[in-house]
Amino acid sequence: MKQTMISGTGRYLPTRLVTNDDLALWMDTSDEWIRQRTGIEQRYWVPEEGGVGASDLGFEASKIALDRAGWRPDDIDLIIFATLSPDFNFPGSGCLLQHKLGLETTPALDIRQQCSGFVYGIATADAFIRSGLYNRILFVGAEVHSTGLDISSRGRDVTVIFGDGAGALCLEGAEPDRTCGVMASVLHSQGEFSSSLMTEAPVSRQNPRLSEAMLREGRHYPTMDGRSVFKHAVRRLPLVAQEALDKAGLTLSDIDLFIPHQANLRINQAFQKAMDLPDEKIFNNIQRYGNTTAASIPIAFDEAIEKGLLKTGSTVMFLGLGAGLTWGAVIYRFAG
Ligand SMILES: CC(C)(COP(=O)(O)OP(=O)(O)OC[C@H]1O[C@@H](n2cnc3c(N)ncnc32)[C@H](O)[C@@H]1OP(=O)(O)O)[C@@H](O)C(=O)NCCC(=O)NCCS
């Protein structure tokens, strides 16, 4: 069985900077509240007039990752696209990206695992590579949240959290080597808590799926039981981190850097405390980007590499929890 290696990364953020003070012009909130409760100082959103979808952001991040990997688009055997904000309800954004990359019949699949889109996506890519079915996989996590958020005070608890953006990774099968590559992945879900964080409409169990009444009630906007999600994250993340370490046969001190999903700085600080990690072992950038869901870990990973925090032989753990509920962790070691 081959080992899954990462050959290139890329990120792309849209250019419209939205500060907390900007949000306070539209809804009853404040810079102080947002910083205190979430750590977020600003985020980037696509242009207000529209015209930019998740596949467009994903395309920009992909071009950078492909370039760094030294791949041409037709080197790609499979595209895995993680998003909760696809360009259309269907077809998936992976197909749209495939066309934008100038490819003709390369397979593409979408993963709808929200904030766990990265860990689910990498675990899926790793399984395809190990099975021998595909050798070169482009993973993309991309979100356009801003066009689907309630920017009135009704939506303030959710809206202040989310940012738009994209991250991409080129994953490739290499000859087996037990000491590097994807070392372990662990995935979980718990549908019992599906209503804790969801966008309900359009809803297939209702006819029509979207009515004027539903629009008036704002049922097409995301809703969240923030406290419940927070509690689950703080409890689950240390457990899943340990589970991944056990699976890889590693200990905490073997991990050079933890890159958690960027949902809320306080969640990551609670994780850091629970695991007794020094500041230099955990990477956060939610302050600048907000929560970009499936894009948050690949954006952070790309930045961590750029800052020289990860190099030859480094071991990194990615982990996250989000809507579903879904959560998981992946351990990756760079070639030594
Ligand atoms: C959403 C979250 C920041 C709210 O923080 P919190 O400390 O739990 O705050 P609460 O929900 O208890 O709300 C406290 C008060 O602030 C108010 N409030 C909510 N959003 C606000 C905002 N943007 N600005 C100002 N006040 C706000 C609430 O209405 C409430 O007011 P009340 O006390 O008068 O009823 C926090 O619960 C969280 O981050 N949860 C995890 C969410 C998450 O990770 N989501 C993504 C998962 S992938």
What integer is the mean pLDDT of 39-44?
98
Q: Which residue owns the Cα nearest ligand 1 atom 36?
A: 226
Q: Using CA atoms, how far apart are residues 128 and 134, in angstroms rounded to an integer? A: 6
Domain C-terminal end among 130, 153, 174: 174
β-pairing verdict for 136-143 and 78-82: parallel
pTM: 0.96
Examine the domain organization and report whether 123 and 230 are in the same domain.
Answer: no
**Rounded distance between C-alpha atoms, residue 145 and residue 58, angstroms:** 14
pLDDT given at position 63: 98
For residues 2 and 132, is the Cβ–Cβ distance under 8 A? yes
pLDDT of residue 38: 97
Convert the pLDDT of each residue in 70-115 to its tens digit: 999 999 999 999 999 999 999 999 999 999 999 999 999 999 999 9
What lies within 8 Å, CB to CB, of 238 at 6+ separation is 271, 274, 275
Asked whether residue 208 falls in the same domain as residue 104, the answer is no
- 157 Cα–ligand 1 center, Å: 5
Are 199 and 316 within one domain?
yes
Query: Is 219's C-beta closer than 6 angstroms to any atom of ligand 1?
Result: no
What single string gives the DSSP state of each residue in 298-313?
HHHHHHHHHTT-S-TT
Coil vs helix vs strand at 240: helix
> Does 145 qualify as catalytic in the annotation?
no
* Beta-bridge partners for 166: 12, 142
The pLDDT of residue 176 is above 90: no
Say yes or no: 16 and 116 in one domain. yes
Task: Provide the domain limits for residue 313.
Answer: 181-333
Residue 302 backbone phi and psi in degrees, to 5: -60, -40
Predicted pLDDT at 323: 97
216-273 pLDDT, tens digit per residue, is 999 999 999 999 999 999 999 999 999 999 999 999 999 999 999 999 999 999 999 9
Residues 95, 115, 170, 180: which is the catalytic one? 115
Residue 264, ligand 1, Cβ within 6 A: yes
How many angstroms separate the CA atoms of 300 and 315, rounded? 15
Which of 174, 200, 229 is where one domain is finished? 174
**Does the annotation count 115 as an active-site position?**
yes
Shared domain for 166 and 252, answered yes or no, is no
For residue 196, pLDDT over 90 is answered with yes
Provide the 3-class DSSP secondary structure of residue 331. Answer: strand
* Domain co-membership, 168 together with 240: no
Structure tokens at 21: 């003070």
What is the tens place of the pLDDT at every residue in 132-161?
A: 999 999 999 999 999 999 999 999 999 999
20 is catalytic: no
For 125, other C-beta atoms within 10 Å of its C-beta total 27
Q: Can you spell out the DSSP letters for 272-300?
A: HHHHT--GGGB---HHHH-B-GGGHHHHH
Q: Does ligand 1 come within 6 angstroms of the Cβ of 230?
A: yes
Residues 263 and 316 in one domain: yes
Query: For residue 71, what is the domain's CATH number?
Result: 3.40.47.10
Query: Which residue among 146, 174, 202 closes a domain?
Result: 174
Q: Could you tell me if 255 and 318 lie in one domain?
A: yes
Atom of ligand 1 nearest to the CA of 160: 23
Give the dihedral sign, CA 327/318/17/38: positive
Looking at the fold, whether 239 and 123 belong to one and the same domain comes out as: no
Both 213 and 294 in one domain: the answer is yes
Give nearest CA residue, ligand 1 atom 4: 226
Tokens read off for 248: 């890889």
Nearest CA-CA partner of 322 in 241, 228, 247? 228
Domain count, the chain: 2
Q: What is the pLDDT of residues 257-276, one digit of tens each?
A: 999 999 999 999 999 999 99
Same domain, 59 and 133: yes
The residue among 148, 127, 159, 169 whose CA lies nearest residue 84 is 148
Cα 184–226–123 angle (5° rounding)?
15
Is residue 231 within 6 Å of ligand 1 at its C-beta? no
Question: CB-based contacts of 306: which residues, under 8 Å, 6+ apart?
Answer: none
55 in the same domain as 196: no
| CB 196 within 8 Å of CB 229 | yes
